[in-house]
Each structure stands twice: as C-alpha cells, then as structure tokens.
Structure 1
Amino acid sequence: MKSMFTYDLMETARNTNQWLGATARALGSYPAMAAVPTPMTTWLQAWGEVTERTFERMVVKPDWGIPSITGDDGKDHVVQIETLVDHPFCNLIHFNVVDRKPRKRRVLLVAPMSGHYATLCRKTVVSLLPDCEVYVTDWKNARDIPVSCGKFDIEDYTLYCAEFMRHLGPDLHLIAICQPAPLVLAATAFLAQEEPDAQPRSLTLIGGPVDPEANHTEVTDFGNSVTMGQLEQTMIQRVGFKYDGVGRMVYPGLLQLSSFISMNMGTHSKAFTDQIFRVAHGEASEQDRHNVFYDEYLAVMDMPAEFYLSTVERIFKNREVARNAFTIDGVPVDFSKITTVAVKTVEGEEDDISAPGQCRAALDLLTGLPDAKKAWHIEPGAGHYGIFAGGSWRNNIRPLVLGFIDQNAAAPKKATRPASAQAAE
C-alpha cells in the first residue's frame, strides 16, 4: 500500500462523496422539486446536506474559534494567536489576551499528535485562559510538509518539547494530554540531565500511555497483535501530488478516521441518521451539538510514518518509557534524574483509550522525586475525552490541576553540598 495510488484513491472517494452530497442538496433545493408531492425531496436534501458537510470537514483544519474572553474587569478582551516558534512539524503558539495583565500561571499545553489537530483541545484552552497564560503545541499536517524537511519520529517529538520548554523558561507548568504523556516525561528527564535549570515547575499528565501494559485496552491489544511489517504494509502510504508533502510516507488521516469510526460504528451510524432526520424536520442548526462535535472529530491529519511506527514499536511494544530504557540518539534518558519537577497524573475511570493505571505508572518511574511532589487522581465515571474537555474536566479536574500548579509555583531550592564535602576541599 506504500504508494500514491492508494492515497489518492481515498482522496478521490472522499471528493466523490462530498460531490454527491452537494449534488443531492442542490437537487432537493430546486423550486420545481417542491411541486412534487412526495417527502423524498426533503429527505434527499437533508441527506445531501449532512453528507456534504461530513466529507468536506475531513480535510479542513478547524479554526480555534476563540475571539475573546471576559476579564476580571468585566470587559471582553480580544484573543490573538501568536506564533512564538515556527518549526517544520510544529508551531509553538501563544493565546495573547489583549490589554490584560499577564497571568502568573504560565501553562504549556502539549496537544496530542494522534490523528486530530491541536484544536481538539479548544475547550481545554478556553477553560484555562481566564486564569493562565496559555501556550500550545500546534502540530502540523504531515501531508503539507515537504520531504526536504526530513523525518520526524518520537525522538524528534521529544526534542521539540524540550526546546519549547527552554524557550518559555523554567517558570512554566506543563499539561500533556493523552499521547504526549510519555514523551513529555522523557523531555523533562532529558532536561534534568542536560540543562537542569530549564526544567518546568510542574508536569500534569492526563490519560497518557506511559505503560500500556498496566491495563489493557483495544488500542494496546491491537499494538501487540500485529507485527511492525504488517503495520508498515497496511497503514503507510505516500502523499499524492495534490499536497506539498508529495512523496512523504504517512499514516493518512482518512485511514485513521476509518479506524476511529469502526471502534464505535453503531454509535456513529445512529448519530448521522438522527442528524438527517433533524435536518429534514428543520430542527438542526449550524452550531448544534452534532455539528460542533463532528466538525472537530472528522477533521483528521496525516502523521509522519516514522512517528507512528516508532510510537507503536517503542512505546507500546518495547515499552521503553515504562522500562526506563528510552534513548535519544543512543543516549539513555534516566527518569530518576527528575528530582524537582512536581508530577501529577489524571485518569478517567471509564477511559477505554488509556485505561486507569497506564498514566499513573509514570510516578513509579520517578524514583528520585520525593513523594510530596507526586500526586494522582482518578475521575469517577469519566471517559477519555471528558478528562480534558468535558464536564469532568471543567467541574472537578481543572480546579485540582490549577491548585497543583499553585502549590508548586515557587522555584525549587537548589541542593546544597554536604558540609563534609565542603570541609574536605
């Protein structure tokens, strides 16, 4: 499958379905069709509207859609998105709230690079903006990155995170959501070894697969049941001529989306059937619950092949992070070197992506970190999405995370040398 033909075939199928939806919608909207005494015209138009929107959203990066927030002064302050660091595979962006005094809490939100854009964390950003200066890793779609920019695997990802920490300074608090949890932990350990003064104040890991074997899910079972050769042959394709990344080896977003949907086919089928009924009855709107959710859910991005394959092999199969055996350019990264960064893990009781125990395993790796700087929380009844963007996040987890940040806002005290050592000199 590692060819442009299969990549372009999927894009052709998507284009065709979008065109069919647009055609059905236009046909059902003709005034002459209203004279035909049958409800089929209404159903045809409704089916076309839902189908066109569905397949159109698959290749469109959603907008952040955060025009302003209300400040302490009761005024609405415009939110401007500033690019602080522009790299081939990721931008470090800052949500600058105009005419507002900078907040003391400086938070770097490390968004997942697992098929969706960083905008998947929009609600998380909105909830943090009133109280924090918010920075986000805005990962780019691999299909738009020229082959000349080189490879990108989990070691490059880790080094990107470390560089962003250096850029923002040590008075920083990290929140890693899902996929980046083990790699952000590795980036922090890397800084602890190489540049201790560049380490952040705290690190909150939310629903991430630090040790996938701690509690099995369909995701971990899939990773263990296939060989790397099978993955490479069935999942990897070359970007077609339509995009700047032509020839780049990727795990296509459309292929990922088919996997996402197949996991809950019945639920998605019912959601789209119900939406067609609502459109036909005139009960749907541009920003109704269905459209808001699926506009984001259907917007998928291609992942670099090296990143996807190295994630499966090194994080899930070999468990390099869980075994404290992760390396960067052949140099071991020792998690016991983290001695001053406070670490908190958050898990959802009903999380079927990163089940409880997978993220908490990070705390067992931190043998050099005092227990007073470790914390963990399991949210009762919460699923994967809810622990960073749903009601569980807003009502319970967010206050706990902000409290954890405040508890560890002060700069860590530098270790002093024992008096016996000083006397010996």
Structure 2
Amino acid sequence: MRYMMNYDLMETVRNTNQWLGATARAIGAYPAFAALPNPALQVMSAWGEVTERTFERMVAKPDWGIRTFTCEDGRDHLVSIEKVVEKSFGDLIHFNVSGRKTQPRKILLVAPMSGHYATLLRSTVKSLLVNCEVYITDWHNARDIPVSAGKFDVEDYTLYLVDFMREMGPDTHVIAVCQPAPLTLAATAYLAEEDPKAQPASLTLIGGPIDPDATPTDVTDFGRRVTMGQLEEMMIQRVGFKYPGVGRMVYPGLLQLASFMSMNAEKHSKAFTDQISRAARGEASDHDKHNRFYDEYLAVMDMTAEFYLSTVERIFKRGEIAKNVFTVNGKQIDIGKITTVAVKTVEGANDDISAPGQCVAALDLCTGLPDDKKASHVEPGAGHYGIFAGKSWRNNIRPLVLEFIDANSPPQPGKKAANKNKAA
C-alpha cells in the first residue's frame, strides 16, 4: 500500500465520481429535456447533484463561516481570524471580535487531528465566542506539507501544544476535545516541570482516550486487533504528484473517511438516498441540514504516517499516558507533577468512541493535584459528538465548563474569588 500509485488511484476514483456526478447533473439540466416530463431525468440530475457535491467536499477545506457576531450591545461585530503562531504542521489562531471589549475568559481549544479539520469544532467555537476570547489549534493537511518540513509524531504534537500554551500565558484555560486529550495532559505536565510559570489556569478534557483499556470500544480496541506491521502495510500511503507533499508518507483522509462511514453504513446510505429524493422533488437547498452536516463530515485531511502510527502504538497499544511513562525527546513526563492546574473531565454516557471511564482516568494520574482542583462530569444520554457540539454541550456541559473555568480564574477587580469545583 505504501506507494504513490495507491494514493493516486484513490484520488482518481474520487475525481471520476465527482466528474460523473457533474456530468449527470449537466445532462439533466439541458433545456431541451425540460420538454420531456420524464421523472428519470429528474432523478438522474438529483443523483448527479448529490454525487458531485459529495466527492468534491472530500478534498476541500471547510471555511469557518463565522463572519459576524452579535454582542451584548446588540450590534453585529466583524470576526477576523488571526494567526498568533504559525508552524509547519499547524497554527494557533484567534477569533478576534472587532470593537468588542476583551473578554476575561481566554480559552485554548485543542482540536482533534484524527482525520477532520479543526472546523469540526465550529459550533463549539461559536458557543464560546459569546463571552470568551477563543483560540484554537488549526492543524494542516499532511498532503500539503513538503517532505522538507520533516517529521511530525506524538512527541512533536505535544511540543507544539507546549509552545502554544507558552504563547498564550498562565491565564489560559485549555479545553481538549477527544483525540488530543492524552497529549494535552502530557503537555501540561511537561510545563509543570520545565516551565511552571507558563502552565494554564485550568484543563478540561472532553471525551478523550486517556486510558483506552478502562472501557474498550471498537475504536479504541482496534489497535490491539492488528500488529503495527499490518497497520503500516494496510493504512500508510505515499502522497501522489498532485499535492505539495508529494512523497510524504501519510494515513490518507479518504481511508479514514471510509472507516467512519463503514461504522454506520446503513444510516449514511439512507441519508444520501433521502437527499437524492429531496433534490429530485426540488426540496433540497445549498445549506439544508444534510449539506451542513456532510459538507463538514466528508472534508477529511491526511495525517502524517509517523503521527498516526505513534498514536496507535504509544497511546493505545502501550498505554504510555495511562501508565504515566510517556516520554518526549528522551525525557519521561510525570503527570503527577501537575499540582496547580485544575483538571476537569467530561464524558458522554452513550459515547461509543471514548466510553465513560477512559477520560476520567486522568484524575487518578494527577496524584499531585488536590481533590478540590479535580472535577468530572458524565452527561446522561450523550454520544461522542454531543458532548462538544450537540444539544448536550449547549444546554448542560458548556455552562458547567464555564463555571469550572470561572472558579479557577484569577479574581477580577471588585469580585471575590470562589472555588466551586466539585468532583462528581
């Protein structure tokens, strides 16, 4: 599998399907055919419309789509995206709401690098922009990074987070969503020992596999069902000639997408069949519920081979974070060194990706942290996406996280500090 030919073959298949969809849509749109009231032409055009959009989105980076924001003064303020730190494999960006007073809560969202872009957290960002200064890690697509930029594995990822936290300062509140939770915990422990003054004020870990063996799922147990050699042979490919990263070894986003889709194949198949029917009836629109979801879901990015393989081997197979033996540049990181950063974990009771028990394991690793700086929450009835982007996040989890952040923030002038932490 580790050849450009395989990568280019996948891209050829995707491109061909996009072309077939565009062709079917164009044929169905011929004015001459309008004189022939044949429903088959409408279905063909609708199939083409949905197919073209589907395969086109697989190689498009979604836009944040956050252009204005209505503040407390009742006026719309422009939102600009500013790069605070630029690096080869990812940037630290800030959502600047122009004309608005700087908000006291400064939040760093650590986005997953597991096949989707950081825009997967768009609704999370929008919900926090209301009364927070929001920063987020914007990871780059590995296929667009030249080989000359070097490698990027779990240790490099951790050091990126260390640099981002240093840049933002000690009044930062970090929220790590899903995949980066173990490495964010490690980055915090690294700062606790190497640069204590740069530690964040609090750390919230949402649905992350701190200890994948605590409650295994099909996703977290995958690494145990195959050897590293099998994984490298089956999943790793070399970027083809079409992209700037030609020759780079990657885990292709299209393979990851195929895995995502296969987990709920029947559900996705019905969703696309229903969308074709709606398009044929003229009921579909550019930004309807289906397109809003799948425009984001289908937009996938490649991961560097070394990051993907080291994640499987060191986080899932060896459990280095869970066993507190994770090393960076040959130096072992001791999570017990975290003594001042308040830590909260959030889990979904129905999470089938990182099941309850995997994330809360972080609190047991923080042996140097007093109990009044530890907190946990399990959201009843919530699945994986619901705990950071769905109704559960908006109605229940977000208020709890902000309360936790306020309880562990430096007191504002004229206000008395209060610690309302409560482990549940």
Q: TM-score range by the shorter chain?
A: over 0.9
Pairs within 5 Å for 1:375-414: 375-410=375-410
**Secondary structure class of the residue paired with 1:212:** coil
Provide Cα deviations, 1:216-237, integer angstroms capped at 9, x if missing partner: 1111221110000000000000
Structure 1 SS opposite 2:219: helix
Classify the secondary structure of the residue corresponding to 1:377.
strand
Q: CA RMSD in A?
A: 0.7
Output the amino acid matched with 1:13: V
Matches within 5 A, 1:150-299: 150-299=150-299
Structure 2 counterparts to residues 225-374 of structure 1, below 5 A: 225-374=225-374
Paired-residue identity, %: 73
The separation in 2 between residues aligned to 1:242 and 1:78, in whole angstroms, is 36
Mapped partners of 2:95, 2:410: distance in 1: 24
For residues 86 and 221 of structure 2, what CA distance do their matches in structure 1 show?
A: 36
* Aligned match of 2:418: none
| Superimposed CA distance per residue, residues 176-212 of structure 1 (whole angstroms, 9 cap, x where no aligned partner) | 0000000000000000010011100000000000000
Report the more deviating stretch, 371-380 or 31-40.
31-40
Given that 2:110 and 2:174 are in contact with CA atoms closer than 8 Å, whether structure 1 keeps it comes out as yes
SS at match of 2:220: helix
- Whole-angstrom distance in 2 between the partners of 1:394 and 1:311: 30
Structure 2 Cα separation of the partners of residues 186 and 282 of structure 1:
52
SS of 1:266's partner is helix
Q: Residue deviations 1:216-264, cap 9 Å, x none?
A: 1111221110000000000000000110000000000111111110011
Amino acid in structure 2 at the alignment position of 1:346: V
Matched to 1:238, the amino acid is R
Q: CA deviation at 1:35?
A: 2.3
Contact 1:237 1:252 in 2 (8 A): yes
For 1:410 and 1:185, how far apart are their aligned partners in 2?
Answer: 21
Q: Which residue of 1 aligns with 2:54?
A: 54
Q: What's the counterpart of residue 418 of structure 1?
A: none
2:64 is matched with which residue?
64
- Per-residue CA deviations over 1:64-109 (Å, capped at 9, x if unaligned) read 0001111111111100000011100001000000011100000000
Secondary structure of 2:324's aligned partner = coil
Preserved CA contact (<8 Å) 1:34 1:41: no
**Corresponding position of 2:19:** 19
State the partner residue of 1:44.
44
CA contact (8 A) 1:108 1:175 kept: yes
Work out whether residues 154 and 307 of structure 2, in 8 Å CA contact, stay in contact via their aligned partners in 1.
yes
Q: Is the 8 A contact 1:342 1:373 kept in 2?
A: yes
Cα separation, 2, equivalents of 1:226 and 1:220:
12
TM-score (norm 2): 0.96
- In structure 1, how many angstroms separate the alpha carbons of the residues matched to 2:334 and 2:36? 73
**Contact 1:253–1:300 at 8 Å: present in 2 too?**
yes
Q: Deviations over 1:141-168 (max 9, x none)?
A: 0000000000000000000000000001
Q: CA deviation at 1:31?
A: 1.3
Q: Which residues in structure 2 correspond to 1:102-113 (within 5 Å)?
A: 102-113=102-113
Deviation track 1:16-68 (CA, whole Å, cap 9, x = no partner) reads 00000000000001111122242100000000000000000000000000011
In structure 1, distance between residues paired with 2:242 and 2:282: 37
Distance 1:77 1:38 in 2: 49
CA-CA distance at 1:399 after TM superposition: 0.3
Mapped contact 1:206–1:388 kept (Cα < 8 A):
yes
Q: Structure 1, residues 282-320: CA drift from partner, whole Å, max 9, x if none? A: 111111100000000000000000000000000000000
Structure 1 CA distance, aligned partners of 2:37 and 2:117?
A: 45
| In structure 1, C-alpha distance between the alignment counterparts of 2:168 and 2:255, rounded to whole Å | 35
Counterpart-to-counterpart distance in 2, 1:93 and 1:143? 21
Please name the residue that 1:99 is paired with.
Answer: 99
Q: Deviations over 1:102-159 (max 9, x none)?
A: 0000000000000000000000000000110000000000000000000000000000
Per the normalisation by structure 1, the TM-score is 0.96
Shift of 1:325: 0.5
Separation in structure 1 between the aligned mates of residue 143 and residue 28 of structure 2, nearest angstrom: 35
Give me the whole-angstrom Cα distance separating, in 2, the residues matched to 1:92 and 1:197. 20
1:223 & 1:292 partners in 2: Cα distance?
32
Q: Distance in 2 between matches of 1:193 and 1:107?
A: 22
Residues 110 and 180 of structure 1 are in contact (CA less than 8 Å); yes or no, is this contact kept in structure 2? yes
Task: Provide the rounded CA distance (Å) in 1 between the counterparts of 2:259 and 2:11.
Answer: 16
CA distance in 1, matches of 2:392, 2:224: 31
Q: Is the 8 A contact 2:24 2:45 kept in 1?
A: yes
